[in-house]
Amino acid sequence: MENAAPGLGRRAVEANAKFLVALGVMVFLAAGTLAYWQGWLFLANFAAWSAGSSAYFYYRDPALLEKRMRAGPAAETEPVQKCIQLFTGAVMIALIVVSALDYRFGWSTVPVWTIIFGNLLISAGFLFVVFVLRENTFASATIQVSEGQQVISTGPYALVRHPMYAAVLPLASGIPLALNSWWGLVIVPLIFIGLILRLLDEEHHLRQDLPGYEDYCRKVQYRLFSGIW
């Protein structure tokens, strides 16, 4: 293991615990009951991936974990990105709350196999994020170019320029299904809009500040989906 910053492990555990408690409160408060096995399965799945990936990068790449922990609107330096992050965060909360409210009031009913499929989509999204982070140690949670940063053009970056954002789509799509909701899927396009706004602004900064990124864009033409866009 590389040298980790003092207290990084403790801070990672605390951050994960706070996030999962907040997630659980949102899910079960909106659902209006603790007798919500779909919510417990979703929370357990999310917790396993969140804690597992943090532990993995604590040992493999603690500097990356440190960067990934500085996230959210307050961590951004550009006003545009603060606004985009606020929008995306609000939409993610709406996705979870609407899905749990759907369960509470019985607006729709999802088959058990679809609930399982939703959890598999979440797992696939997390797994692909881990794969992307393994390839790109410079993948900060904020829009910035760090000292010594290089253009990454291997692995998934050889196919699309923003593979991590692509991984968010199956993860977000899986959340309402895992929470027994069809209506929650209505929120997913708003997440897609937030991702597009973020990556377009990110590319603007990378073209300006990261040597070689312009050439990389000419080489890899697609942003999110190979052969489409």
Q: What is the pLDDT of residues 101-151, one digit of tens each?
A: 999 999 998 999 999 999 999 999 999 989 888 888 777 666 666 667 788
Spatial contact of 31 and 103, defined as CB atoms under 8 Å apart: yes
- What is the residue range of 54's domain? 8-219
3-class secondary structure for the chain?
Answer: CCCCCCCHHHHHHHHHHHHHHHHHHHHHHHHCCCCCHHHHHHHHHHHHHHHHHHHHHHHHCHHHHHHHHCCCHHHCCCHHHHHHHHHHHHHHHHHHHHHHHHHHHCCCCCCHHHHHHHHHHHHHHHHHHHHHHHHCCCCCCCCCCCCCCCCCCCHHHHCCCCHHHHHHHHHHHHHHHHCCCCHHHHHHHHHHHHHHHHHHHHHHHHHHHCCCHHHHHHHCCCCCCCCCC
Q: How many domains does the chain have?
A: 1
Classify residue 229: in a domain, yes or no.
Answer: no
Instruction: List the CATH number of the domain containing 95.
Output: 1.20.120.1630
Whole-model pTM: value is 0.88
Spatial contact of 160 and 223, defined as CB atoms under 8 Å apart: yes
Classify residue 225: in a domain, yes or no.
Answer: no
Classify residue 91: in a domain, yes or no.
Answer: yes
pLDDT higher at 72 or 21: 21
Instruction: Give dist(CA 80, CA 97) in Å, integer.
Output: 26
Classify residue 226: in a domain, yes or no.
Answer: no
Instruction: Give dist(CA 106, CA 222) in Å, integer.
Output: 40
pLDDT at 178: 97
Per-residue model confidence as pLDDT tens digits over 153-212: 888 888 998 888 888 889 999 999 999 999 999 999 999 998 888 888 888 888 888 888
